Structure 1
Amino acid sequence: MSPENWYLTEDLDDFLARAGDFLSAQPALHTVLLTTTDALRRRGRHFYGPEDPVFGVLEGNGDGRVRAALLHTPPFPAHVTALTPVAADALADRLAELDHTVSGISGPRETAEAVAAAWRRRTGATGTVQQRQRLYRLAELTVPQPRPEGRARIADDGDRALLERWYGEFAQAVGNGAGRDPAAWADARIAHGGVTLWETPDGTPVSLAGVTPETAGQVRVAPVYTPAGLRGRGYAGAATAEVSRAARAAGTAEILLFTDLANPTSNALYQLIGYRPVADFAVWRFGADGPKKTDGGRRP
């Protein structure tokens, strides 16, 4: 395998056999790939959409050591770990051979920018930044004060319709309206106790904070959502603090979350709770003028 040759597969077990140790060695930086592959193992290969996911591994220097990894679960952008500029060029070449649309790229900020530029050179399709993100890690937990009246509880089967509705509203708000099915998301989260609701003293849910299952010693808090008419009352901070406390009490080593850097309110809130910056990421969307199918329509 040449230094910049990407190995692509649709076999999740094959991918994890090759890249599992690499991903687990830096669980914070690789949280997206760890949590997404865990969801695919638990819920099936089409949990994120009807198209087959594609996985990639970059090995080099003739020693078989994994240098980078790729995960593409359409319709979401492909997600990649940190790359050199040369490896980003090689990835753009390889992605252009896929027989399904590559809608975008996400990953560490400089890597995502390099892949987007390489994609434009390779295909002529332009890219635009959809979101700039910051990854945070929980340090010392601080519960925001004053704490709103009410209590936290784990969502159960009786909350399924509420979770579906709120997840759909959240997806639309962040621009992921074409993402996974809200019912499948709700079922998956209920199955592992992965949503904490904050409810008022009369038992009315007013906010939620989700958390991914633990894998490789890390979990990620996502999503956090409060309906528009209920914001500014401390509900999201209370729910996030509670889900973070529970994860720490369970012995999780790395408790993580992403923020949209365009939202100063959420960034300030999470730092108040005790989250500290780890790295910046970016999500790019590609234009529709790039190639859709090549190589006779065969998947790699």
Structure 2
Amino acid sequence: MELQRFNEPIAFRAHVGAFLETHEAENCVQIGMLTTRSLIPSADPIYCATVVDGAAIQAVAIMTPPYHLLITPAAPSAAVDLIAHDLAGEAVMVTGVMADPATSLRFAQTWQDVRGGGFAPTMSERLYRLARVIPITGVAGRMRAISEADRPLLVQWLADFEQEALGTALDHAQIHHRIDRYLTLAAFGLYLWEVDGEVVALAAHSGPTPHGMRIGPVYTPPGLRGHGYARALVADLSQMLLAGGRQFCFLFTDLTNPTSNHIYQAIGYTPVSDVQVYRFT
């Protein structure tokens, strides 16, 4: 096997697109990242690599520091080891890895061998796909798109989501940049659930794939939970995306949260695969 590096994300997308799209749901994050780079050119660093056996791609790896490394599912152990050794020679911080459980563990163990330090599991997730929304009733409120007037609330809620779900803190400049994308780019959208004029939940979409769109984040403040607002919002947002021409919607849930796994299945999301995240120490 041989590892190949690419310096240009758009050319890389053209090279690996067919491989990634054979498992479009499982690779929705990687496809979405590369599509976003084509929509929004950036000088930020990105690591793009394939491992090939002859002409056949065996694995694809993408990383935009400081975010975790992404490796395509079911990568052969030898391919994972090549990626680890290649990154070990770079002056870049690898903060963690996100992949299917076996691939993620293999990379974490090899990374520990070649770079030292430790690793710890930080999140176990399940990927879901939806092709048809099961209608729900009995939830008060309606969905609406965000406006500039919502920015102060969005800054606080997006920061709260990041801290609660991922344990990380985003500075306000990063959050404002995300809100700008939601307000100006068609591939990104942020919607609110409103009850009698009060905003009670948010849900976003981003990361377009050839046939789908990824939902997330989804957030309801603790004091407003238990009323079905997030479920209703995700159902309406998913239906809007399907009606607009998408064949599928994708989303990730925390496997340790049985409530979120249940509510999304109730509106038509079906499990695709599991993902394990390790953080390096």
TM-score range, shorter chain: over 0.9
**Take 1:284 and 1:266, find their aligned partners in 2: how far apart are those partners?**
22
The aligned counterpart of 1:188 is 181
Secondary structure in 2 matching 1:269: helix
CA 38–179 in structure 1, closer or farther in 2 if over 3 Å, else same? farther
Separation of aligned partners in 1, 2:178 and 2:145:
15
Q: 1:161 to 1:43 in 2, by over 3 A?
A: farther
Indicate whether 1:285 and 2:279 are aligned.
Answer: yes
Amino acid in the other structure paired with 2:208? E
Distance in 1, Cα, partners of 2:117 & 2:170: 22
| Contact kept in structure 1, 2:29 and 2:207, CA below 8 Å | no
Counterpart secondary structure, 1:18: helix
Partner of 1:72: 63
Q: Which residue pairs with 2:141 in the alignment?
A: 150
In the TM superposition, residue 43 of structure 1 has moved relative to its aligned partner by 2.8
1:138 maps to what in 2? 130
One of 205, 212, 235 as aligned partner of 1:211:
205
The verdict on how the C-alpha distance between 1:176 and 1:37 changes in structure 2, with shifts beyond 3 A counting, is farther
Q: Say what the alpha-carbon RMSD is for the aligned residues.
A: 1.7
**Kept after mapping to 2: 8 A contact 1:207/1:226:** yes
Tell me the CA shift for residue 116 of structure 1.
0.8
One-letter code of the match for 2:190?
V
Give the aligned partner of residue 36 of structure 1: 33
* TM alignment of 1:8-157, pairs within 5 A: 8-45=5-42, 51-60=44-53, 62-63=54-55, 65-82=56-73, 83-147=75-139, 149-157=140-148
Q: Distance in 1 between matches of 2:265 and 2:50?
A: 34
- Conserved in 2, the CA contact under 8 Å of 1:43 and 1:188? no
Tell me how many residue pairs correspond in the alignment: 276
The Cα of 1:271 is off from its aligned counterpart by: 0.8
- The answer as to whether partners of 1:214 and 1:252 remain within 8 angstroms in 2 is no
2:152 to 145, 161, 166: 161
8 Å contact from structure 1 (residues 75, 179) kept in 2? no
* Amino acid of the structure 1 residue aligned with 2:163: Q
* TM-score, normalisation: structure 2: 0.92
2:61 counterpart SS class: strand
Aligned to 1:268: 262
SS in 2 for 1:99: coil
Q: Structure 1's 53 and 178: CA in aligned 2 closer, same or farther, altered over 3 A?
A: farther
- Checking the alignment, whether the CA contact within 8 Å between 2:207 and 2:213 is kept in structure 1 is yes
Give the SS at the match of 1:174.
helix
Alpha-carbon deviation of 1:139? 4.2
Deviation of 1:34 after TM superposition, in Å, equals 1.0
Instruction: Give me the whole-angstrom Cα distance separating, in 1, the residues matched to 2:7 and 2:176.
Output: 25
Stretches of structure 1 lacking an aligned partner (at least 5 in a row)? 288-300
Instruction: Give the whole-Å Cα distance in 2 for the aligned partners of 1:236 and 1:160.
Output: 19
How does the TM-score come out when normalised to structure 1?
0.87
Cα distance in structure 2, aligned partners of 1:226 and 1:190: 20
